[in-house]
Structure formats: C-alpha cells, structure tokens
Homo-oligomer: A and B are copies of this chain.
Amino acid sequence: VDRLKRQIGFIVELDKLKTILRQSWLADGSRRENSAEHSWHIAAMALVLAEHANADMDLDLARVVKLLLIHDVVEIDAGDVLVYDIAGNADKAERERRAAERIYGMLPEDQAAELRALWEEFETGETDEARFAAALDRLMPLLHNFLTEGRAWRQHGITADQVLARNAGIAAGSTVLWDYARELIEEAVERGYLLPAAE
C-alpha cells in the first residue's frame, strides 16, 4: 500500500507539467503549448514516424515512447528554457539533475532508478532510441513555428543559421526527417517566417 501511495503521489505531481509553458504556440495560434501536451504529441508522433529512423538503427519503439513521455518531467522544477538562450541554459543541467532527483525520487526506489535512467538516456543521447526521440523533439517545434508563420522565431529574432545549427542533430536519428526539416526551414525563410542567416 505504501508502494501504491508513492506511485500515486508521483502521478499527482506530474499534473504540474500541464502548467509549464513552452515557447511554441499551438498550430491554431490560440495560446502557447504546455510541456504535458507536447510530450503526448511527440509520443504519438513516434508511433507514426518510426519507419523513418535511420536504416542502421535497431529501434525499440516502446522505449522511444517511454523516453518521450518522461523526458520533460524535470521542467516541473527547472522550467522550459528557450534553446537559443545561452544564459538561461548555463545552469540548466544542474537544475534539471536536482529536479530529476526530487521528482523521480517520489517513486518506489526501483521505479525511481528506472525512470531516472530513461531520462539520462534521453539527455545523453547515445542510444538509437534517444537519438530518434531527440529528432522528434526537435522536429515538432519546427512544425509549430512553420504553422504559426514563425511566431516564436520572430518573437525572439531567431535566424535560419541558428535553427539549422540547433536542429542538425535530427540527422543522427533520421536523415529523412532532417531532409524534410531543411525544406521546412528553407520555405520558412522564403515566406518571411524566419530571418535569413545573419551576415
């Protein structure tokens, strides 16, 4: 019973992720996206796009989905930081490590260790599953930016070279999706959603 109580405590804590706002706007432009619904969206995305993982990968799709479901939980304590914000990202790793300790630590020990290991796997990005999961996590904000005519990009004065540099890692998970992402970025510049590369 104590075990179930701890599990429920963790599940209740997860509710807070619904109040963490990301930089992305919903496709209809009505409001900013929160990290809980984002996590759902990329997990569902994984079910549909798994076939585009690089051919040399031996992908465990269930593991990809797990990584995507839990990768943002640390934001409950550490918040969501704009990926192009260098100052805000300086102590991000340490804040997220403490968050993982506290939040996953609410679970029974075996599960705390398991979910923490999954989170570290995502962060380290050294397995095929982590690389493909990270590719989806990067592709999604590109899509949202494109669909909202570059709303978050324009808001923060982001340029195409920043977006290209930030997202080049998509290729490590899927060259097919990276080709698609580059087309999106190119078209975003053409349509004026995204500033061209700075001089």
Contacts and interface: CB of A to CB of B under 8 A. Distances in A.
A interface, by DSSP: helix, strand, loop or mixed? helix
A170 interface: no
Copies per complex of this chain:
2
Given A52-B4, A62-B61, A18 B37 contact: yes
A16 B176 CA distance: 26
A15 B44 CA distance: 11
Of the four ranges (under 10, 10 to 19, 20 to 34, 35 or more), the interface on chain A belongs to: 35 or more
Given A14-B41, A15-B28, A36-B41, A7 B69 contact: no
Interface of A: 4, 7-8, 10-12, 14-19, 26-28, 30, 33-34, 36-37, 39-41, 43-45, 47-49, 52, 61-62, 65-66, 69-70, 107, 111, 115, 143-144, 147, 176, 180
